[in-house]
Amino acid sequence: MAAQETVDHKYVYDFAEGNKDLKDLLGGKGANLAEMTNLGLPVPPGFTITTEACKAYLATGREPDGLAGQVEAHLEALEREMGRRLGDADDPLLVSVRSGAKFSMPGMMETVLNVGLNDRSVIGLATRAGGNDRFAWDSYRRLIQMFGKTVCDVPGEEFEHAIDDAKRAKGTDNDLDLDADDLRGLVDTFKRIFAKHTGREFPQEPREQLDLAIHAVFESWNAERAVVYRRQERIPADLGTAVNVVAMVFGNLGADSGTGVAFTRDPGSGAQGIYGDYLANAQGEDVVAGIRNTVPLEELERIDKKSYDELLDYMARLEEHYKDLCDIEFTIERGKLWMLQTRVGKRTAAAAFVIAGQLVDEGLIDLDEALHRVNGAQLAQLMFPRFQLDHDYEPVAKGIGASPGAAVGKAVFTSARAVELAAEGEAVILVRRETNPDDLNGMIAAKGILTSRGGKTSHAAVVARGMGKTCVSGADELQVDIPAKRFTVAGQTVSEGDVVSIDGTTGKVYLGEVPVMPSEVVQYFEGTLDAERTDHPLVRAVHRIMTHADARRRLAVRANADTGADAARARRFGAQGIGLCRTEHMFLGDRRELVERLILASGDQERQQALAALLPLQREDFVEIFREMDGLPVTVRLIDPPLHEFLPPLEQLAVNVAVAQERGEDVAKEEALLAAVRRMHEENPMLGLRGVRLGLVIPGLFAMQVRAIAEAAVTVVRAGGSACPEIMVPLVGAVQELETVRAEAEKIIAEVVGDSGVEVLIGTMIEVPRAALTAGQIAEAAQFFSFGTNDLTQMGWGFSRDDVEGAFFWRYLELGIFGISPFESIDREGVGRLVRIAAEEGRAARPGLKLGVCGEHGGDPDSVHFFHEVGLDYVSCSPFRVPVARLEAGRAAVETQGSDSR
């Protein structure tokens, strides 16, 4: 019975049997050919072999039972409809064999044209073409060339060299100058090339050509370029491709024939108009290959007005039917227009927003659909400045595009020098082997950051993204020499003061100045866009869609911000609070000496003196932030990193002490620091004395911070403002840790707040797997959870995030172990399950428990959808990612409602 079902399974569909909604089965091309057929447009007859047949072939290495017979039956039906037989010697039917996956993969898989030609049928084709021998032999050489390269892996350059030799012998550089005799000679040459590489003659049996071409298209699904493209575009690997067998129509029959590509709107800008290219006396691959120069599509009106008018009518009908920009391929055969393909066209990020707005205005779609058609990745692309690469600028190195944008400035090699030059009005690029927290001031001052080490989650990358700074990390071709204030690359030396340009999107590094274009979208969000530019189609579209996203979303969007300036920027970008204020950043710069005093304190008195000196500084930090947020919630994370991160590196201190001793200088302070660093040294500090552990071990540290937060809130409220502080305890793994900290914190808060009316929530980060698994217990002591997904990912996977990306992630991506780095997008099955468990068990123990996320994933489009699905209340991300999160939160709400209604 099972065998009978396999034989009876339908693997082949005539175009008239399908429609555009069968993309899973017929692929995008086959489904759209069927749709155009159903609309009555002039589509050459043909049939589609399903993706199921492809998957079965790839799984077993042979055709599934029943496929050959179904292909034969549909081929006979096609022959009857066309009145010709495949490869007939007198009047041959020729077909194209084209790939067509569910998702468009342009140029990634195979196509073979003119299948059915052989030594006999080429004569019949010439006769049918009115004695046009040149056309017939040109078609035959194209078949051998495409078949050899696609089906039999004959090196394509050998065919190209043969064509070049033929043109050289003719004294021309134009293919059209080759006559029938030249092309007949090329066919003989191509056959010899084919035989040399395959060990057999070019197949003369038309059905064998067809079967081999179908198999080649199936196999092209797993070709290296197709695999790489799918990985890049996150297309599932198990979909397979359909195969479309279509009766050939010819654009290379003479001046009254041709081929072209048309777009119903400009895919670059979204502007309405006539866009596309046309090439007379050519077949489709000539347009793509750029062998000859095309003419603008509007020239077709002069060349063939009848076909031009028909094409415009079909374009309008297709766009109205698909309710979107359509990309169309067509051929004109002796004045007869044929539609070969349509699909929803790819477009730039700017065009996506503009077209969505236009289609709403035209009544073709509503605002929910417009929101669905754009995405956060496109918005992010629009928000970063970019290089104007209209000249030949060659990069000298390529690292990891860690924080998008384009930045140009003088190379500097220390944080202090970056601050110094920036204060003088100079644009600088901070170049380091790797950055550390002490580089923060220099990173703030610089236009961009360039490191020779690290990955997308290195210190440089994370901090740069948080500030919206352009960053290229892991450019390991750079030999950075900090003491000498220079780096060498590609045989060239770049010294301090030399200008460099870095592209944080592509990771490319350029020497000299590359022109930069600012982002109008960022200027719109910040309110600095010139009045005349606010009516620009892109700006209007972004405003309209963002307004609708805000109206539709359930998730609130907060920002990660550590200063008043960051908080102000976050509000301009639409943040509804601060989800992560990192207090450790407040201990850097001029306050470092006070931190050293705290660390070196020999007893309680010295420790309390150091803490007392830090208290008013911390208080003023929080006053500034609370004022900027004006009553919006501000989640302050108590100090998290190990204290030795605030001290100089062990190696540097050891060298300093040795040099000072050699000179006979007083080294008492340096020796004390060195002893402290050695005492605090940990093999794995990220799993050591940090977070809540630090607060429990160092008396008074958390108490000072809690007091500063409460006093700042009271100060703002008593001055007539509003403050909504939330204190977050980091790295909790057991409820007892939180209970201990909370008990002390509540006493301080009660003492400070008095009758001011200030309410302070106390909660915790869920970033240790044990915390996620015991969330029900922890919720008894927590008024909110905020998921620290950076550390939760690191501990859940057992990865050191500063090491693994550059070390082996590339291999994991190559092998398909990852589709994307789990530090970029939430690992739904593993880390995501921990989030889901903690959310469910936390709310079961404490109904109404406030849930948020403050890791890097809070600004990742796909992750935002997951957090919406899990039921979190808010996401928090860097200020520059806030608009992206707002947009995706709206999209998540619309798509959830759409799936629920279905």
Tell me which residues are annotated as active site. 459, 854
833: DSSP letter: H
Both structure tokens of 514: 């590359």
Judging by DSSP bridges, how do beta strands 492-495 and 486-489 pair with one another? antiparallel
At 888, phi and psi to the nearest 5?
Answer: -70, -30
Phi, psi of 461 (to 5 degrees): -65, -50
Instruction: Give the C-alpha separation, 461 to 432, whole Å.
Output: 12
What's the full length of the chain, in residues?
902
- Strand positions, DSSP E, 656-772: 724-729, 761-766
Give me the DSSP letters along 785-803.
Answer: EEE-HHHHHHHHHT--HHH
Contacts 24+ apart (CB under 8 A), 861-866: 861/375, 861/376, 861/377, 861/888, 862/825, 862/826, 863/789, 863/825, 863/826, 864/376, 864/555, 864/888, 864/889, 864/892, 865/891, 865/892, 865/895, 866/826, 866/828, 866/832, 866/835
What 8-state DSSP symbol labels residue 808? I
Residue 225, SS3?
helix
Backbone angles phi, psi at 118, to 5 degrees: -150, -170
* Cα atoms in the 13 Å half-sphere on the side-chain side of 453: 12
- In sequence order, what are the beta bridge partners of 802? none
Give the bridge partners for 636, in sequence order: 581, 727
Quick one: how many helices (H) and strands (E) in the chain?
37, 33
405 burial (CB, 10 Å; 0-12 / 13-18 / 19+) is buried
- CA nearest 342: which of 326, 325, 321? 326
Assess contact for 334 and 853: CB atoms under 8 A. no
For tokens 């020999």, name the residue.
Answer: 602
Identify the three-state secondary structure at position 849.
coil
Phi-psi region of 463 (alpha: psi -120 to 50; beta: other; left: phi over 0): alpha
Contact call for residues 613 and 605 (beta carbons, < 8 A):
no
CA neighbor of 342 nearest in space, from 324, 360, 354: 324
Greatest Cα pair distance in the chain: 106
In the block, residue with structure tokens 């489009």: 861
Alpha-carbon gap, residue 252 to 282, rounded angstroms: 4
Q: Are 357 and 544 in contact (CB under 8 A)?
A: yes
Residues 840, 845, 848, 851, Cα dihedral to 10°: -50
- Residue 489 makes CB contacts below 8 A (sequence gap 6+) with 396, 397, 477, 478, 479, 509
| Tokens found for residue 553 | 């979303």
Structure tokens at 637: 């994370």
* Six token digits for residue 270: 């979204």
- Give the whole-angstrom CA distance, residue 162 versus residue 178: 13
The torsion of the CA quartet 459, 462, 466, 472, rounded to 10 degrees, works out to 90
Complete DSSP assignment for 323-338: TS-EEEEEEEETTEEE
